Amino acid sequence: MSRVCDLTGKKAMSGNNVSHSKRRTKRRFYPNLQTKKFYLPEQDEWITLKVSTSALKTINKKGISACLNSLLKNGKI
C-alpha cells in the first residue's frame, strides 16, 4: 500500500539522520496518514480514504463534499 495522501498528494520525503559526530545516513520522512471513513450524504454512501492529518483539518473546516468537489474541479481525481 502506498504512503500517499488521497486528497493532498503528500508523500514521503528523503533526508539524513545526523549523528552527534555529524555522520549522515539516508532516511525517509513519512507523512502522518490516517485511514478514515467519510459519509457522503449526496450519494448516500461511505468512502474510505487515506488522508494526512492536515487534510483532516481541511475536511473538518470545509466538509468532505467541498474538498472532493475542489479536487474534481482541479482535475486531480
DSSP 8-state code for residue 11: -
Q: Residue 6 in 3-state DSSP?
A: coil
The answer, as to whether pTM is greater than 0.75, is yes
Whether 62 maps to a domain, the answer reads yes
Domain of 31, CATH number, reads 2.30.170.40
Q: Is residue 46 part of a domain?
A: yes
Max CA separation in the chain (angstroms): 58
User: In angstroms, how far is the first alpha carbon of the chain from the final one?
Assistant: 18
Percentage, residues of the chain above pLDDT 90: 81
Domain assignment present for residue 6? The answer is: no
Please state, in angstroms and rounded to a whole number, the distance separating the CA atoms of residues 44 and 38.
Answer: 11
The residue segments making up the domain with residue 31 are 13-74
pLDDT digits (tens, 9 = 90+) for 58-74: 999 999 999 989 888 88
Inform me whether the pLDDT recorded for 5 exceeds 90.
yes
Neighbouring C-beta atoms of residue 63, cutoff 10 Å? 13
Residue 5 within a domain: no
